[in-house]
Amino acid sequence: MASLQELRVQVNWLDRLQSLNRAGCLVVKHEPDDTSRYERARTQLPFVLKRSHILGTRFSVGHEDYAIDVACWCQSPSGRACGFFTVFRVITQTSAPSWATMFCFWDGTDSSPCFRGTDSAKAYALQQGFEEVTNEI
């Protein structure tokens, strides 16, 4: 069996996220006053899973033995505003995820960053320690 280190770069994690049904992917609310963005994240989850581009992966700090963080970006449905920058934490010990959480949803509202394209979103993800995925399977 491949190690999680090997799986992190060998597996197309976006495909694995998309294979989870909506019940297998939870949206995490962080701040008590984050209600409106949290509701948008819950509403946009199916769209984000369907339309996102993977920006990079990294091991989840403190959870390196069973979790991988996946940064994604997609254009908003209107195509005119900021896109959706998301980070999913995939819980797995194999190449098939058990479940995932979306713990970051930035859409340019509520003081969240605005990324209008894949390049700026990817640059930000790389600055945050994500490694670019170049060999998606």
Percentage of the chain modeled with pLDDT above 90: 41
136, part of any domain? no
Say if residue 11's pLDDT is above 80.
no
Q: Can you tell me the mean pLDDT for 38-65?
A: 87
Token pair recorded at residue 35: 């209600």
Model pTM? 0.85
Q: Which residues form the domain of 58?
A: 4-127
Length of the chain: 137
Token pair recorded at residue 129: 């320690």
Q: How many domains are contained in the chain?
A: 1
Residue 70 has a pLDDT of 93
133, part of any domain? no
Confidence class for position 2, pLDDT limits 50, 70, 90: low
CA dihedral 102, 108, 114, 118 (to 10 degrees): 50
Confidence class for position 105, pLDDT limits 50, 70, 90: very high
CA distance 60 to 121: 19
Residue showing tokens 């949290």: 38
36, part of any domain? yes
Q: Can you tell me the mean pLDDT for 75-92?
A: 91
Q: Average pLDDT over the chain, rounded to whole?
A: 84
